[in-house]
Amino acid sequence: MKLIELAKVLRSKNAGPLQVTVDLMFADSNAFEIALQSEALTAPRVAEAYGVSPSTVVVIPFRAALAIKVVIDRPVIAGSPGDTDVYGAQQHKPLLEIEL
């Protein structure tokens, strides 16, 4: 199953000049648990999807909200030359097709 088929909301946003967050929200606890237990949503696997070092990725589950937040260091400071998405709104794409 692909993450996009399981998540109710899958979005990214700016988290300051140095980081972007990806929010994964699920409709029920079953879907949340499937995602949480998947090896595909570990820091090393997310880092692989983004082509970054695992040390630049943090995966934070929040069971009370049936959500998982992924924090990724930006490759360049937001708004600086080379930044292609100052709002961070298009950074969730690498996770859309990830297989759980």
Domain ranges of the chain: 3-75
* Chunked mean pLDDT (size 10), the chain, 100 residues: 95 96 97 96 96 97 98 94 92 92
Q: How many CB atoms lie within 10 A of CB 32?
A: 23
pTM of the model: 0.92
In the numeric block, which tokens belong to residue 83? 């930044």
Task: Name the CATH superfamily for 3-75.
Answer: ACT domain (3.30.70.260)
Query: Degrees (nearest 5) of the Cα angle 62, 47, 93?
Result: 80
**24 and 3 in contact (C-beta within 8 Å)?**
yes
The pLDDT value given to residue 94:
93
The pLDDT value given to residue 97:
86
DSSP 26: -
